[in-house]
Amino acid sequence: MLKKILMLMIVVNGLIISQALKSPDGRLEFDFMMSKGGIPYYTLKLDKEYVIKESALGIMIKDDPGFIDELAIVSTQNSNFDETWQPVLGEQKEIRNNYNQFTVTLQNIDTKKEMSIVFRLFNDGLGFRYEFPKMENQRYFTIMGEKTEFRLTGDHKTFWIPGDFDSNEYPYMTSKLSEVDAEKGQGFFEISTRRIIAHNAVQTPLMMKSDNGVYINIFEAAVTNYPVMHLLVDKSEFSLKTAFAPDAVGNIAYMQAPCSTPWRTIIVSKKAENILTSRMVLNLNEPSKISDVSWIKGQKYVGIWWELHVNKSSWNYSDINNIKLGEIDWSKVKPNGRHGATTERTKYYIDFAAKNGFAGVLVEGWNVGWEDWFGNWKENVFDFVTPYPDFDVKELQRYAASKGVKLIMHHETSASATNYERRLDEAFRFMKDNGYDAVKTGYVGRIIPRGEMHDGQWMVSHYFRVAEKAAQYKIMVNSHESSRPTGQSRTWPNWISAEAARGNEFNGWSRGNPPEHETILPFTRIMGGGMDYTPGIFQTKMDYYTTGSKFQVHTTLVKQLALYVTMYSPLQMAADLPENYERFPDAFQFIKDVAVDWDDTEVLSAEPGDYLLIARKAKGINEWFIGGITDENEREMEIAFDFLPKGTSFTAKFYMDGDGASWDENPMLYKIETKTVTSESKIKVKLARSGGVAISIK
């Protein structure tokens, strides 16, 4: 299987090629090279055309020459790998992990310290990482940056959000690479403190398309104990260099050998669809560290949530402020009369969940501290165990159990990670004692320890510490405002989902997410794992709640249905208020029916920024769901049902935009038609401006 061609002493652009490697299907080609000055380089080609031109590699180490130049090859090694594994929850039942590998061990000729670079060439792209053996003179060291480059072949079309080490909640911008300007990347009202790194800084995954139709996705995998990779665009050269969040004293990453960096990934294809079906990022993560996974379950949930965001009720119980944890007798505090998380209201959601088959009920604002949680950069905001006086934890445990529903815990940390870590055991024990087995975490605001950032090494490690401890307690985690996932659901399958990008919530209280937003997220944020986007908002215009409000969801109602299929997440919220679902019971049926865990996924057609059409087969049963969405343009989609087994007729329920519907006019207009389909069927459907189509097939 392995085609190993050793081409010693072939010189290209002054670089000596020391190894060429082909992908298992032979279409991708990778070269490793050394310059005369001992600098390592690599290239990547698809069908003999460059995707990445000669790009430097290297690691900068504090108070040490590091691994930048003056490097010599000590040894090389080739191997290949082919296995099929089963994710606990996923977009498909089985995932093939097949690559050819090349490892080069380099030595700094002065210090004699060694570093290996491991390259894995898959059919869908290249992954590589730096590895550091433990040596006499190399045990603890501090990385100050990487020399890693991605030199592109032209001024590609780029889907980007500004480089900000503290927030990924931005709407995507689309421009030529040379026109990237992070300062212009806000576009929409921002709630987080913007901390743009530089004018030319962008976040990853970075999705690009070349003029000749090659799709390139630059990202990373298995980011643990290392900061998140951001990129600096060199606009004249069309090249990308790495940037990492420094810690409070200006260092990037503390390492203890033997150790390695995360994998840098380049996924490439002439078909946009193949970017979405690439499982390279997952494949580059370690197998599950949890042996008994029987308690990890995909699920749909409802919750006391959207009513808080549309200001129908409040997280806080009272209007006092400047509270100090533990110093207040809450039974004496005057309630503001607007508190959302009451025992009674929670029972109403439990009843609604039980009636409609949802497994979980999230309750936000149940615990003391919300009076001054926001914007104060205060260490001790929440203790995660003290309910407000009108939230009866024991009674709700009893009530939820009697209805066969589980409550989902909410731990907003207000970014005080130190406080959270101190209280984590107690908080998880409290959950277990009270019947909770899933937690939504949140990190709104500036990080404590002060000087750390959301994307820095310390915080990345924090999110993992939480997931690992949660696993010990058999608790599933859904993180918001964490750094974006990089495939770690393979290793920690209890880290079931994350927001970690600009979610649907922004539509409730800001200029929101433009119509193309959801067509880009699968090519960017969701490359690393499921996203808790919180779809399903039926009441799209917010003047329903607040007279004169201009805020609105920038989709039709039907597009909100389609998002359950296009936005992969094994944890999906039916985010709107029960009252609103009761207004549209026939449309709500799709949310009740749709699966969250899948045997198979087929991307029928896709173009980032424009449209998506995805079909998925539910795990273990003969049911399929299709979601199609479009950007601000209306569109006709022809759906071929050839993914269905041959020779059987199925009943398909089509949820379509109503005639005259669009995201801005009549967004809630829809029609539902039932048709018989077979694998031979081809059916055309019209999608409104920022509309969609959702189909359930049984």
Residues 6+ away with beta carbon under 8 Å from 399: 347, 350
Q: Least distance (Å) from ligand NOJ to the CB of residue 380?
A: 17
Q: Least distance (Å) from ligand NOJ to the CB of residue 657?
A: 27
What is the size of the binding site for ligand NOJ (CB under 6 A)?
A: 9
Confirm if 629 and 563 have CB atoms less than 8 A apart.
yes
Q: Least distance (Å) from Ca ion to the CB of residue 455?
A: 15
Round to whole Å and give the CA distance between 6 and 691: 53
Fill in the DSSP letter of residue 620. Answer: T
Q: Least distance (Å) from Ca ion to the CB of residue 107?
A: 46
Q: Between 100 and 314, whose beta carbon lies closer to ligand NOJ?
A: 314
Q: Least distance (Å) from Ca ion to the CB of residue 348?
A: 25
Q: Between 501 and 677, whose beta carbon lies closer to Ca ion?
A: 501
Q: Can you say whether the dihedral through the CA atoms of 457, 362, 353, 515 is positive or negative?
A: negative
Among 412, 452, 455, 518, interactor with ligand NOJ by CB under 6 A: 412
Chosen from ligand NOJ, Ca ion, none, partner binding at 442 (C-beta under 5 to 8 Å by type): ligand NOJ
Round to whole Å and give the CA distance between 6 and 73: 14
Chosen from Ca ion, ligand NOJ, none, partner binding at 406 (C-beta under 5 to 8 Å by type): none
Please tell me whether residue 572 adopts helix, strand or coil conformation: strand
Chosen from Ca ion, ligand NOJ, none, partner binding at 91 (C-beta under 5 to 8 Å by type): none
* Number of Cβ atoms within 10 Å of the Cβ of 686: 15
Q: Between 220 and 499, whose beta carbon lies closer to Ca ion?
A: 499
Round to whole Å and give the CA distance between 140 and 630: 51
Q: Between 444 and 683, whose beta carbon lies closer to ligand NOJ?
A: 444
Of 654, 657, 631, 635, give the one whose Cα is nearest residue 556.
657
Place of tokens 């490892």: 103
Q: Least distance (Å) from ligand NOJ to the CB of residue 135?
A: 44
Q: Least distance (Å) from ligand NOJ to the CB of residue 572?
A: 14
Site string for ligand NOJ, 280-319 (x = CB under 6 A): -------------------------x--------------
Q: Between 290 and 444, whose beta carbon lies closer to ligand NOJ?
A: 444
Q: Between 166 and 599, whose beta carbon lies closer to ligand NOJ?
A: 166
Among 340, 442, 628, 691, interactor with ligand NOJ by CB under 6 A: 442
Tokens linked to 147: 């020399």
Q: Between 192 and 225, whose beta carbon lies closer to Ca ion?
A: 192
Round to whole Å and give the CA distance between 590 and 588: 5
Q: Between 305 and 384, whose beta carbon lies closer to Ca ion?
A: 305
Beta bridge partners of 269: 215
Q: Least distance (Å) from Ca ion to the CB of residue 338?
A: 22
Confirm if 485 and 529 have CB atoms less than 8 A apart.
yes
Q: Between 43 and 504, whose beta carbon lies closer to Ca ion?
A: 504
Place of tokens 């605001």: 445
* Number of Cβ atoms within 10 Å of the Cβ of 34: 19
Q: Least distance (Å) from Ca ion to the CB of residue 122?
A: 32
Backbone phi, psi, residue 381, to 5°:
-95, -45
Q: Is 94 a catalytic residue?
A: no
Beta bridge partners of 613: 605, 628
Q: Between 221 and 363, whose beta carbon lies closer to ligand NOJ?
A: 363
Restricted to residues 491-550, the positions that interact with ligand NOJ (CB under 6 A) are 499, 503, 505
Q: Rule CB under 6 A: is residue 73 a binding residue for ligand NOJ?
A: no
Please tell me whether residue 416 adopts helix, strand or coil conformation: strand
* Number of Cβ atoms within 10 Å of the Cβ of 155: 16
Q: Least distance (Å) from ligand NOJ to the CB of residue 499?
A: 5
Of 603, 606, 630, 605, give the one whose Cα is nearest residue 616.
603
Place of tokens 């090659």: 214
Select which of 169, 452, 505, 518 is catalytic.
505
Confirm if 667 and 694 have CB atoms less than 8 A apart.
no
Tokens linked to 152: 């592109």
Tokens linked to 541: 């215009």
Chosen from ligand NOJ, Ca ion, none, partner binding at 444 (C-beta under 5 to 8 Å by type): ligand NOJ
AA letter at 546: T
Among 53, 406, 480, 619, interactor with ligand NOJ by CB under 6 A: 480
* Number of Cβ atoms within 10 Å of the Cβ of 198: 14
Chosen from ligand NOJ, Ca ion, none, partner binding at 364 (C-beta under 5 to 8 Å by type): ligand NOJ
Of 417, 495, 503, give the one whose Cα is nearest residue 457.
417
Q: Rule CB under 6 A: is residue 444 a binding residue for ligand NOJ?
A: yes
CA distances from 51 to 47, 154, 241, 269, 455 (A): 10, 9, 16, 10, 28
Q: Where do contacts with Ca ion occur on this chain (CB under 5 A)?
A: 480, 499
Residues 6+ away with beta carbon under 8 Å from 264: 127, 128, 129, 148, 218, 220, 229
Chosen from Ca ion, ligand NOJ, none, partner binding at 181 (C-beta under 5 to 8 Å by type): none
Residues 6+ away with beta carbon under 8 Å from 686: 634, 635, 636, 656, 657
Restricted to residues 346-375, the positions that interact with ligand NOJ (CB under 6 A) are 364
Round to whole Å and give the CA distance between 164 and 196: 5
**Binding region for ligand NOJ (CB under 6 A):** 305, 364, 412, 442, 444, 480, 499, 503, 505
Q: Which positions are catalytic? A: 505
